[in-house]
Structure 1
Amino acid sequence: MRRAWLFVLAVLIGLLPQTLLMGTAHAATVTTPTNGTQFTDTTGAVVHAHGGGVIKVGSYYYWFGENRNEDNTFRYVSAYRSTDLKTWEFRRHVLTQATDPELAVANIERPKVIFNSTTGKFVMWMHKENGSDYNEARAAVAVSDTVDGDYTWQGSFRPLGYMSRDITLFRDDDGTGYMISAANNNRDLHVYRLSADYLTVESRVQLLWAGQLREAPAMFKRNGVYFLLTSGATGWNPNQQKYATASSVTGTWSALQNIGDSTAYGSQTAYVLPVQGTSGTEYLYMGDRWGNSFGQNVNASKYVWLPLEFPTDTTMTMDWFPQLSIDTATGKVDGVGGPWESLAARHSGKCADIPSKSIDNGIQLTQYTCNGGMNQAWWFKDLGNGYVQLMAKHSGKCVDVADNSTANGNKIIQWTCGTGTNQQWQLQDAGDGYVRLVSRLSGKCLDVSSASTADGAKLIQWTCGTGTNQQFKRGA
């Protein structure tokens, strides 16, 4: 059963001291790594910040998260920093098994860091278990004088005697700190007001959605409206994320509403990061695609980051994009790609498809009954030279002639997008709204092998002819 959890913590930009807020502006627009992959740091090592949260100090965003052993037990809370939300520099393991005897055999999940402007301390809250079963259900606290220094263990406890699992923090505009956690075996969500030093809870101010099995909370505030985003409790497997709104943390919350697709695009809420810049503030969903959900472990988990949109002050939507464009100077967060179109073979009426929605390099394209899936959606990216690249929406990878071959029958695959001519296609009018796709590399046409009409028939390249198995219609 998944012991994985949200990484949402409140970004305290406006409440940090001026000495922390000063920094050099970063003006570049940066495209993030491809969604549904592991990110790497400046040394090429995998970023292990699972179930984590982010705090901005000066010009840097600091990302804290879980770094586990192979058996999923606690190893480190690791810290990284970035100015552009793509280029991540490893700082240190700020909490380790050696920090305190209580951590020698433990599970630590969903660490969040918040700054206390009165004490000048950075305070980390997290969910703590004993490493052998899942019955402790305790909150834990550690503190540091610097954001990425060694954190000193303060101990673990059940807040006001209640179970505490998935956890997040939120700091309001007036400096009031809140801790939100899953309680009662994940059946409820509790919202606690923190003490003035943020080291313990002062009172429980909300019991939300009793018995509805909510976890992975993420709270943020936009235009005076509080948002609380959560997932259901389905072990490691992704599910429908929901959100609610309120005019105050302690007031009445709205009914839960769905956001994203039925699996949050294969992820679970970890954190919502406000990206504040000269043009305003936009909001970044940060989620985990847990490794345990695809037969591996927590450190094999992948990241899903998506822009949040707000049709009104109290409604929120989230769509899938294989990549994002983020400008931390202006505060702009946008999806990369689209418009997305299907590509249907004339002879069969079936769509170009990536089997099993795989995101792996080298998967051969097939045709399959059109179903509107993201693995049948393509961005015809105009290269400005008479050719296009075709990017798959679900994977962010491009239609590619395998092995740079010019041979008839060579397979057509998806591969990481690059600049090679084996990923460049010319669209030639075939009449009646159909086109041929001609490879710049080989001069040969995208072809459904043997003119098959069966689901699963392979896509290959072949000498261009008049066959309808080489004619395709683009569709919205």
Structure 2
Amino acid sequence: MPRILTLLATLVLGLLPALPATAAVTVPVGAQFTDTSGNLLHAHGGGVLKVGSSYYWFGENRNADGTFRYVSAYRSTDLRTWEFRNHVLTQSSAAELQVANIERPKVVYNAATGRFVMWMHKENGRDYGEARAAVAVSSTVDGAYTYLRSFRPLGHMSRDITAFVDTDGAGYMISAANENYDLHVYRLSADFTDVTTLVRMWAGDHREAPALFKRGGVYFLLTSAATGWQPNQAQYATATSITGPWTAWQNVGDPLTYGSQPAFVLPVQGTTGTSYLYLGDRWAGAWGGPVNDSRYVWLPLQFPTSTTMTLTYARQLTIDTAAGTITPTGTGYDRLTVRHSGKCADVRNGSTANLAPVIQYDCNGGTNQQWRIQSISGGHVQIIARNSAKCLDVNGNSTADGAALQQYSCGTGTNQQWTLQDAGGGYVRLVARHSGKCADLPSSSTANDVQFKQYPCNGGTNQQFTRSEQ
């Protein structure tokens, strides 16, 4: 960080109330966050900027209909205890923001001007025809930002967006263009409020949600495919120059990026080194919920070599910002064992196909017997098979007794939404939202390869499961 920024931050932060001293904290994966006042934290699609010893998290805070309400800012020293600071951009910040969509705000600091610059994607609030970038500035990190304008960079469409300051002080903006089929890297002007040149383009790759970071002289660009609210396989490319040449896209994470889409990658630098934290959004639109009900998926990135990275799931993280360490705990996957038989819920033959039956089978530790149970709106969950990244689903959205349970690509259907109902004694029932019926092993069979069905909940042990982490 430039010395001028460190000095500025010291002066500014000295006037602000002190935050708690940093210590190792536990951060859940796939949860909502609350601030120090107990309010839900809304920083969706956002990014984090470190100023002095504090991290500032900026992101989307939307109206119930999904349109722009605020860009909200929060402050933390430990990445878990977040203090609400300000709605730094609001509908009253500019006339064109009164009805708008503002997405993926990213704030960078310009050491030459002493100003904080916010880049974002702007639409008119009615459709996605504008496809514009927008920029705002502030003299303080969490003060009111002055909205400058929206525009199409060098005449190109601009949607999902991020901003990046290189180690030499140069600024860049990366955005999806041409209906998200192209991805552009722009060099910013000296004050970071405009674009000057298009320095790199991926044409026809259909990538969005860019997150750019640099590690050991290597640039990593992490992206998502363009599938709307539904998660997909994240991919990344690397280069030793931001203009390229870049490697081919490489997969990272599972086929759904653990039910998330990239938003940002945060370097966490401390006394023992620097860790890199993936910040992803589990968008509520994927299950038909409002944007502000989205969850946050934070996971540590790991680097087998200087030019490759991996992303694995966890139940929670221990983050020590002073040391610069991030330690995952638990796999985040559960085995579901039927009480009456002691057998496991299993995707038949380890299939990855839609409509593959979900059966009971002797527990064997296979990934087709491991499930990610992720919270969604209204106290419901989706139950996702590890081997296929597909959802536990009631065939045909049927409400009839005897309808079969299967796996199917995750979507917004309530036949893929379940309540974990306490059955006492450490057991749970899986109750389908659309029908109110229970996952049931017909006739209380103890045989292998019997398919689960739905039936009215009746208290039977063939409708009760234990949940144990694998």
The TM-score, its normalising length taken from structure 1, stands at 0.74
Identify the match of residue 329 of structure 2 among 336, 346, 358. Answer: 336
Q: Which amino acid aligns with 1:213?
A: H
Distance 1:231 1:14, change over 3 A: farther
Distance 1:280 1:461, change over 3 A: farther
Superposition deviation, residue 251 in structure 1: 2.1
1:220 corresponding residue in structure 2: 213
- Unmatched 5+ residue regions in structure 1? 1-11, 355-365, 379-391, 395-399, 415-446, 464-469
2:99 partner SS: coil
Matched-pair contact (CA < 8 Å) for 1:411–1:460: no
Task: Give the ranges of 4+ consecutive aligned residues of structure 1 lying more than 3 Å apart after TM superposition.
Answer: 12-15, 21-27, 338-350, 366-371, 373-378, 400-403, 410-414, 447-463
Distance 1:213 1:329, change over 3 A: same
Distance in 2, Cα, partners of 1:145 & 1:250: 31
Q: Does 1:129 align with 2:123?
A: yes
1:47 corresponding residue in structure 2: 41
Distance 1:161 1:106, change over 3 A: same
State the structure with bigger RCO (CA 8 A, min sep 6), 1 or 2.
Answer: 1
Matched-pair contact (CA < 8 Å) for 1:285–1:305: yes
1:265 corresponding residue in structure 2: 258
Q: Does 1:30 align with 2:25?
A: yes
2:304 partner SS: coil
Counting only pairs closer than 5 Å after superposition, residues 4-153 of structure 1 correspond to structure 2 as 16-20=5-9, 26-33=21-28, 35-153=29-147
Residues 374-432 of structure 1 deviation map (CA, whole Å, 9 limit, x = unaligned): 74489xxxxxxxxxxxxx998xxxxx9947x56xxx84469xxxxxxxxxxxxxxxxxx
Matched-pair contact (CA < 8 Å) for 1:13–1:57: no
Distance in 2, Cα, partners of 1:448 & 1:27: 53
Identify the match of residue 317 of structure 2 among 319, 324, 345. Answer: 324
Superposition deviation, residue 18 in structure 1: 2.8
Q: Sequence identity, in percent? A: 59
Matched-pair contact (CA < 8 Å) for 1:13–1:21: no
Distance in 2, Cα, partners of 1:305 & 1:311: 19
2:360 corresponding residue in structure 1: 368
Distance in 2, Cα, partners of 1:302 & 1:377: 15
Matched-pair contact (CA < 8 Å) for 1:167–1:180: yes
1:291 corresponding residue in structure 2: 284
1:105 partner SS: coil
Q: Does 1:201 align with 2:190?
A: no
Matched-pair contact (CA < 8 Å) for 1:223–1:313: yes
1:16 partner SS: helix
1:293 partner SS: helix
1:159 corresponding residue in structure 2: 153
Distance in 1, Cα, partners of 2:174 & 2:50: 20
Superposition deviation, residue 348 in structure 1: 5.9
1:20 partner SS: helix
Q: Does 1:276 align with 2:269?
A: yes
Distance 1:14 1:112, change over 3 A: farther
Matched-pair contact (CA < 8 Å) for 1:367–1:448: no
Distance 1:133 1:169, change over 3 A: same
Matched-pair contact (CA < 8 Å) for 1:448–1:460: no
The TM-score, its normalising length taken from structure 2, stands at 0.75
- Unmatched 5+ residue regions in structure 2? 14-18, 348-357, 374-383, 387-419, 431-440
RMSD of aligned alpha carbons: 3.7
Distance 1:65 1:372, change over 3 A: same
Residues 293-349 of structure 1 deviation map (CA, whole Å, 9 limit, x = unaligned): 111121111111111000000000000112111000000012112597857679968
1:44 partner SS: coil
Superposition deviation, residue 351 in structure 1: 1.4
Distance 1:15 1:344, change over 3 A: farther
Distance in 2, Cα, partners of 1:62 & 1:28: 17
Distance 1:253 1:71, change over 3 A: same
Distance 1:411 1:280, change over 3 A: closer
Residues 191-244 of structure 1 deviation map (CA, whole Å, 9 limit, x = unaligned): 000011001011110012x11110000000001100000000011111110000
Instruction: Name whichever of 340-349 and 76-85 sits farther off.
Output: 340-349
2:402 corresponding residue in structure 1: none
